[in-house]
Amino acid sequence: MRSNLVIDLMFLRSGSTEINTHSIHPDLHLSSDHAPLSVMITIKEENINSFKSSIAKNSKEEKNFIKDISVAIKNNDILDLSDHSKIEEVTNSLASRIEFVWKTNTK
C-alpha cells in the first residue's frame, strides 16, 4: 500500500484540480511487483496560430532565391575541411545564409 502512495505523489500535486482522476490496478500487475497506474488528464482546447512561408513558382522571388543560394554555395570556403569543427563552421554558415535568403524572399 505504501508504494501506491509514492506513485500517487509522483504524478499528482496535492490539491490538484487538473489531474483529479486516477486508478491503481493491482490485479493487472502480472509477474511484476508494480501495479499499473492510470491517470485521467483533461486536455483543454487551444488554438495555436501558425503560418507557412512560401515562394511562388516562376516568380521574381524564386529567381532571386535560387541565385542567392547558388552564390552562397559557390562562395562557401571548403578548401580546409580537415576536422569536425571546420565542417560544422561551413555548414552553419551555409545554413544561416539559406535561412536569411529564404526569409528575404518568402511571403
Percentage of residues of the chain with pLDDT beyond 70 = 81
Q: How far is Cα 2 from Cα 12, in angstroms, rounded to an integer?
A: 15
Mean pLDDT of 30-54: 82
Residue 53 falls within a domain, yes or no? no
Within a domain: 51: no
Q: Which domain holds residue 82?
A: 60-105
Select the more confidently predicted residue: 74 or 24: 74
Residue 17 has pLDDT above 80, yes or no: no
Instruction: Note whether residue 45 is domain-resident.
Output: no
pLDDT in tens, 57-96: 999 999 999 999 999 999 888 888 888 998 999 999 999 9
Angle between helices 84-105 and 60-75 (to 10 degrees): 160
**Residue 55, domain member (yes or no):** no
pLDDT for 41? 74
Contacts of 26 (CB under 8 A, 6+ apart): 35
Number of domains in the chain: 2
Residues 65 and 31 in one domain: no
Does residue 76 fall inside a structural domain?
A: yes
